[in-house]
Structure 1
C-alpha cells in the first residue's frame, strides 16, 4: 500500500489505496483511503437538489466517502459538522450572501487543511474566484461530470503535496497537457455512455513575483534607451490572433489547441493597447473550455509568466497581466521573427 501525509499542517492523515475487496460498491478498484482504512472523506454543498445527487454519485464513483451532502448554507461554521478532506461547493450565482458564504467556507477549508473545489458559471466566475482565493481552490465553470471527476483527482493529488512539489516546471506543463487530454477523452466517453450508465473519471496531478522590469517601446515610435525590447503593435498581434482563429473554419480546432500561447498573445495585445484583461475575457480568448483555461492561467501564474491584479474600484473583479519577464520574452520573440507572415501562428 502507498502511504503519505496529507497537505494540512498538523493533520497527519495517512492516505493509502484500498485493494479492490475493500472498495465501495460501484467505486473504483483502488479507492483513496485514510489511516483508519476508510475512503477519503468529501463534503458536498449545493442548493440544487438534482445537482447534489449527481455530485454525490460522482464522488462515490471516484471512491470517496461522502460525509455531507447539503445546501450551501449548511457549510456555515457555528453548528456545521467538520469538513471532509475534500470540499466541493456549487456557487452558480454571485449575490452578496452566496459570496459571503463562499469566503467563510474557504477560510474553514484553510483552517482544517481541506482541499476546496468550487463550481460556478462564467458570469459569476470572477467574484466567486475572489471570494474563495484564500483556499487556492480548483475552479470549475459549468462542469460536466467528466470535468468534475478530473477535479476530484486534482484535489486528491494536492493531498500528496511533496510529490507535486518535486515536479519540475517542465514536468508540470507536461502534466497539464496530460490532464487536458484526459479531460477531453473523459468527456467523449461520458457522452458515449450517457448519464445513467456511469461517468468516466481519471486522477491526474495538476499543477510570482515578476522579475525586474525592462522598458518597452512600440514599433511605430519611441527612442532606444539601453536597447529595450520592442513591443509589437497591437494591430500586429491582433492580426496574428485572427490568423490563428481562421484555421478553425477549415480544420478541427482541437488539432491546434494551444491555450498557453493564445493567452500570451491576447495579453501581449492588451498590454500594447493599454487595456486590462479580466479572467473571464482571458478564458474566452484561450479558445478552450473555461475550466481548462483556468488550469493554464493558474499554472502560468505559478511559473511567473502571469500576474494577477486586483480591481481597486470593484473588489469582486480579477484581472490578469503578463509579468515583466513574459512581456520581455514576447517582445523579443516578435523582434526575432521580424516581418515573417507566420509569426505567432
Structure 2
C-alpha cells in the first residue's frame, strides 16, 4: 500500500524560492545593524510594508489564486500540529477554517490536490480520516514563516544575536 504521507519530490521552483527567502533574511539581518530606534509612526509604516511583502511572499509560495485565507489557516494549523507531532482529523481541521463545512472540505481537497497535504484513514477508527502536511507542504510553511520572521525583525527594529 502506498504511504500517502511519504515525502513528495521537491519542486525545483520551491528550492529556488527558499534560496531567495534565505538571501532576503540575511539581507534583513544585516540592515538591522545600522537601524536607529523607530518612532511609532515609522514602526507602523514598517509593519504595513512588511504585511504587503508577506502577502506577496505567501502568494508566490502558495500558487497565487489557489489558496485562500481558509485554506491558508488550515495549512498553518497542519504545520502547527506537525511541529507538535500530531495529526488532525478532517472535522477538527475544518472547524479551524472558520467557513461552512462544505467550503472547508473543498479547501482541504485543494491542499491535497496541490500536494501540500495528504489524507488517510485513522488506524484507531476507520470512520475518521486524518490529515497531515506532505514534505512540500512542510517546506512551504517553513519558507513562509522564515520570511515572516525576517520581515518582522526588520519592521520592529529588533536585533537578534
TM-score in terms of structure 1 length: 0.25
How many residues matched?
Answer: 92
How far off is 1:302 after superposition?
1.2
- Which of 305, 308, 312 matches 2:123? 312
User: Contact conserved, 2:95 with 2:101, CA < 8 A, in 1?
Assistant: yes
- Report the alpha carbon displacement of residue 279 of structure 1 after superposing the two structures with TM: 0.2
In the alignment, does 2:108 pair up with 1:297? yes
Structure index of larger Rg: 1
| Correspondence for 1:280 | 91
Counterparts of 1:211 and 1:331, CA distance in 2: 16
CA distance in 2: counterparts of 1:210 and 1:278, whole angstroms: 20
Residue in 2 aligned with 1:211? 8
Judged with a 3 Å threshold, the aligned counterparts in structure 2 of structure 1 residues 209 and 273 are, in CA distance, closer, same or farther, namely closer
Q: Is the 8 A contact 2:118 2:131 kept in 1?
A: yes
* Residues 210 and 297 of structure 1, relative CA distance in 2, 3 Å threshold: farther
Look up the SS of the partner of 2:123 in the other structure: coil
On the 8 A contact 2:6/2:135 being kept in 1, the answer is no
User: Alpha-carbon deviation of 1:261?
Assistant: 0.7
- Verify the 8 A CA contact 1:210 1:307 in the aligned structure 2: no
CA-CA distance at 1:334 after TM superposition:
1.0
1:216-235 to 2 correspondence within 5 Å? none
Instruction: List, as ranges, runs of 4+ consecutive aligned residues in structure 1 with deviation greater than 3 Å.
Output: none
- Bigger relative contact order, structure 1 or 2, given CA contacts below 8 A and separation 6+? 2
Where 1:316 maps in the other structure, the secondary structure is strand
- 2:159 aligned residue: none
Q: CA deviation at 1:209?
A: 7.5
Match for residue 145 of structure 2 among 334, 339, 344: 334
Aligned-residue offset at 1:274: 0.8
Find 1:271's aligned residue among 72, 79, 82.
82
Separation in structure 2 between the aligned mates of residue 329 and residue 292 of structure 1, nearest angstrom: 23
Deviation at 1:212, TM superposition (A): 3.5
Q: TM-score, normalised by structure 2?
A: 0.51
Name structure 1 gaps, 5 residues minimum: 1-207, 214-256
Q: Helix, strand or coil for the counterpart of 2:127?
A: coil
Higher share of residues assigned helix: 2
The 2-side partners of 1:281 and 1:295 are apart by: 15
Q: How large is the RMSD of aligned CA atoms in angstroms?
A: 2.4
The alpha carbon displacement at 1:281 in A equals 0.4
Checking the alignment, whether the CA contact within 8 Å between 1:277 and 1:320 is kept in structure 2 is: yes
Deviation sequence 1:105-140 (CA, Å, 0-9, x none):
xxxxxxxxxxxxxxxxxxxxxxxxxxxxxxxxxxxx
C-alpha distance in structure 1 between counterparts of 2:110 and 2:72, whole Å? 13
Answering whether residue 135 of structure 2 is matched by residue 324 of structure 1, we say: yes
Shift of 1:305: 1.1
